[in-house]
Amino acid sequence: MRTKILKILGLVFVLLFFIQFSFATTVGDVYTKIGVLGKSFELLFGLRSDQPIEVAIIWLIIFIMLFFAFSDIFKLFTVFSTTTAYILGFGLALITAMVRVIFWLSVWIFSVAGGLGALSIALVMISAFVVFFIVHWITGGPLLKWAFKRQVTIRAIKEAQEPAAAWKKLKEFERATR
């Protein structure tokens, strides 16, 4: 029970700590709230104070992804311990942030994804029109005539009591459809 209360209090503390950043519109707003650490973040991570907060959020997400990817690669393919692998992964992710590779990756990846998304929408729309015309031509052309002729033939055979009367109705139908 006591550990549950401590966890809830810890969560409330963390939420209250980060709520001050929820009204920030630029990275500079966050820098002013955290004080001296702001300049070190600008130096280490390359986040300028005039950038919108959305850029910082995207940067943070990509940084965390690179950190865990590098750490996992070090952990799986080297003989380093888990702690060393995480330290090396953080260092490598920090280096990619300092040389602004994270921004380059995010711009490049989002540009390619956006372009492929637009291309896929265009291909879907074009293929829908092509399929519509193909299906319309098949069902409206020879297939429709065949189905209509078959329907009339079956009706003529059912209505006629003699084969000669059915033959006569079929000839009338052929004259009407020419």
Buried residues in 137-160 as b, exposed as e (16+ CB within 10 A)? eeeeeeeeeeeeeeebeeebeeee
pLDDT bin (cut points 50, 70, 90) of residue 16 is low
Look at residues 113, 117, 63 and name the one whose alpha carbon lies nearest to residue 93: 63
Residue with the larger pLDDT of the pair 50 and 130: 130
Q: Residue 119: its pLDDT value, please? A: 92
What sections of 35-162 are H helices per DSSP?
A: 37-45, 53-77, 82-98, 101-140, 142-159
pLDDT bin (cut points 50, 70, 90) of residue 146 is confident
The residue-averaged pLDDT of 76-95 equals: 89
Alpha carbon distance 93, 5 (integer Å): 35
CA 93 to chain centre: 25
Q: What is the pLDDT of residues 99-138, one digit of tens each?
A: 777 777 777 887 888 889 899 999 999 999 888 888 777 7
pTM for the whole thing?
0.49
Q: Residue 153: its pLDDT value, please? A: 75
Q: Residue 34: its pLDDT value, please? A: 65
Looking up tokens 């690669």 gives 73
Residue 90 has pLDDT above 70, yes or no: yes
DSSP state of 141: T
